Amino acid sequence: MDDERDITESIRMALKNHYWVDAAGNALDALRAYKPHFYDLILLDFRMPKIDGAEVYQEIKRMDPRQKVCFITAYEGLDKRMTNLQWRNSVSSVFHEDLVFPLLKKPFDTSALLSKVSSIIGE
């Protein structure tokens, strides 16, 4: 799920020959369509208008605590913040985990996307 239509479409096109893909252009549509225990992986933009990725993540994990999620983001500071203990502690109430989750930084190419998805799913 990404709020930028071009990115959503490029992800869908890159993955469609390898995986079954659903795509959503905003958080509300994604949450309405989400089926617990159905998806191997959710690709989720971290920064979106109205409802951000952290809120979507929290709702998905409420519905299916075992759901695998990979955040995608162009936010340069996120990977640095992930290693900052104070920041990690401040958001632990949202993530309810040790904050070790996959991250794919925009822009990314098809091979990086396929490699990340494959490694998370365990293929």
Q: If we measure between CA atoms, which residue out of 14, 45, 9 comes closest to residue 27?
A: 45
Give the tens place of pLDDT for each residue, 22-37: 988 888 988 999 999 9
Give tens-digit pLDDT for 93-109: 455 554 456 788 888 99
Strands ordered across the beta sheet of 103-105: 42-45, 69-73, 103-105
Residue 82 has pLDDT above 60, yes or no: no
Sign of CA dihedral 116, 64, 16, 26: negative
Amino acid at position 14, single letter: A
Model pTM? 0.77
Domains of the chain in start order, with CATH, are 5-121 (3.40.50.2300)
